[in-house]
Structure 1
Amino acid sequence: MFDGKQITIFGGSGFIGRNIVRELAQRGARIEVACRDVEGAKHLKVQGVVGQVTPVHVDVTEGESAIAPAVEGADMVINLCGILYESGRNRFDAVQATAPGLIAAAAAKAGAKKFVHISAIGADAKSPARYARSKAAGEEAVRAAFPGASILRPSIVFGPDDDFFNRFGAMAESLPFLPLIGGGKTKFQPVYVDDVADAALNALASDPAAGKIFELGGPKIYSFRDLMELVIAQTGRKRRLVDIPFWLASVEAAFLEWLPTPPLTRDQVELLKSDNVVSEGALTLQDLEVEPTACEAILPTYLDRFRPGGRYNRFRAA
């Protein structure tokens, strides 16, 4: 299916993108990784044979003129561009609302046959969170420009390089407590990054997936408290769980937002007020022939580095 195909992946140097690049390279695709930091993406070249994976500089905030050259000759296009917080020119509206439509339009004009857009569970035009509103606007723009696009909405994505479990693992290593924003009642359905990559490839390969939206979640739903307890168990740390009301979290986030890499923003606090789970009746991983992987099977393989004594302690205990 992918052997010899030209596939352009926008945002392909990121956490999810790196896994998709690996899987496509193993299947013989020729891949252009459209990203802002070409130097930082050069390590992706070793995922394939010489010349199979090519990072190219594209800043999607520069509009159609920057995007169009990257999709010339592409048989398939994947858009993974997204941000967790705003900084500089990287605004939610530019990256997540406007750019997806421009990429989809450029792909259609270039004659691409398949398009996969990675969005997020919780994308909602009426959400109080700007992140979720921009995701919804991006989906709408993609479907208008490329009606046959497949849209994937993952819950929080976990894996060795994730931003979620690694962040709280580091906190467990250095702090005497872990925060439970809003009492830790928000529900999540974490999905393994390899499952998301497989879902993207299967969506590209499946004609019935065209024009459909899939919500990607793992086999189990957890509260935020449950996830923090998992972090504590996997890191072998005795840590208190401290309830932090939403209003207080918003006050703290107002100051944290000024950091170069903010650990929390007021927009993220708004997101935490809504559950992040697969909707009833939605198409899921199973509809893309992917069996979801449980957190408990994967977390021990990378959170052990936050244990007292590091990874060595796990092997000694074994």
Structure 2
Amino acid sequence: MAGERVTVFGGTGFLGRRVVRRLAGEGWRVRVAAQHPAVPDGADPTRTEPVRADIRQEREVAEALEGADAAVNVVSLYVEQGSTTFQAIHVDGAARVARRAREAGVARLAHVSGIGSDPDAGSPYVAARGRSELAVRDAFPGANLLRPSVLFGPDDAFLRNLAAITRLPVVPLFGRGRTRLQPVYVGDVATAFARLLGDPGTAGRTHELGGGAVYTYREILELILAHQGRRRPLLPVPFAAWRTLAALAGLLPDPPLTTDQVALMATDNVVTPGAATFTDLGMEPAALAERLGECLPA
């Protein structure tokens, strides 16, 4: 909303940068809160203010929220390192942002989670995401929860990693490659944040955000191979073998594969029937095939 202030925690990340640009473009005064704050490329510098904020630090979170009308938390962690754990970031950090936002009199809060988030999941990452939803709603009952499927866009890790895999002489599949995914364009998710914050009537709702088409993992690899003009055999690899590889990779300082990633690839990641979606926000999301050319060089 024009003239109102919003604090975006994680505003320098892959999704956060798009959220900042979108909100600033719609007239919000945006506070970009991050450990290493900066104004994202393409964002209106007259409407953006970088501030240092680590969501593990009470004082920094409170200061970042001073005078804010709304707040967004898009901080994410995919690999645990030392004390930087899923619990510290996704649960305790998210709860801290929500509690401090309520105490500061912030009117709206939007929190990113993910499709399939479940506090009882076997995957520590997925379980932490599920606990984060409970913690946020407990501290700020009117918060919006946004559950995107796997994000894609220019320079994203998802497509970049798959493109690297397709350069191998033989492309390994997770199982038989039948896991269903609904990749969602990062710009569409940023727009969803803006629409929710701009409409007070959506307070307290949860939206599952999937792209315009569902693909199997095999179909996504085939799309990328066709886009890059490559031909490669696709080799089914049992999930048991992937779990063993991930466990061994976990011994490395910066593992290229984690057991959580393997667990995610063993389960369909698509919008739940009956869930509120982009349609409820008056949006028609792009499908991966429609945006592939702008996200991945041929």
TM-score, structure 2 normalization: 0.95
Q: Which residue of 1 aligns with 2:45?
A: 49
Alignment partner of 1:31 is 2:24: no
**1:208: Cα distance to partner?**
2.5
- Mapped to 2, the partners of 1:46 and 1:268 lie a distance apart of 32
Alignment partner of 1:59 is 2:57: no
- Mapped to 2, the partners of 1:140 and 1:94 lie a distance apart of 15
Alignment partner of 1:293 is 2:293: no
Q: Which residue of 2 aligns with 1:313?
A: none
Q: Which residue of 2 aligns with 1:91?
A: 85
Please, which runs of 5 or more residues in structure 2 have no aligned partner?
none
- Mapped to 1, the partners of 2:45 and 2:32 lie a distance apart of 15
Structure 1 outlier segments of 4+, above 4 Å: none
Question: Kindly tell me: are residues 183 and 121 of structure 1, through their superposed partners in 2, closer, same or farther at Cα, counting changes over 3 Å?
Answer: same
Number of equivalent positions: 298
- Mapped to 1, the partners of 2:223 and 2:285 lie a distance apart of 18
Please, which runs of 5 or more residues in structure 1 have no aligned partner?
308-318
Q: Which residue of 1 aligns with 2:232?
A: 239
Q: Which residue of 1 aligns with 2:11?
A: 12
- Mapped to 2, the partners of 1:54 and 1:14 lie a distance apart of 15
Letter in 2 for 1:115: L
Letter in 1 for 2:44: G
**1:45: Cα distance to partner?**
6.6
Where do residues 166-185 of structure 1 align in structure 2 (5 Å cutoff)? 166-173=160-167, 175-185=168-178
| Contact kept? 1:153, 1:216, Cα under 8 Å | yes
- Mapped to 2, the partners of 1:102 and 1:49 lie a distance apart of 28
- Mapped to 2, the partners of 1:13 and 1:34 lie a distance apart of 8
- Indicate the RMSD between aligned Cα atoms, in angstroms: 1.5
TM-score, structure 1 normalization: 0.90
Where do residues 129-208 of structure 1 align in structure 2 (5 Å cutoff)? 129-173=123-167, 175-208=168-201
Letter in 2 for 1:4: G
Over the matched positions of the two proteins, sequence identity in percent amounts to 41
What secondary structure, in the 3-state scheme, does the structure 1 residue paired with 2:33 have? strand
- Mapped to 2, the partners of 1:45 and 1:268 lie a distance apart of 30
- Mapped to 1, the partners of 2:29 and 2:251 lie a distance apart of 40
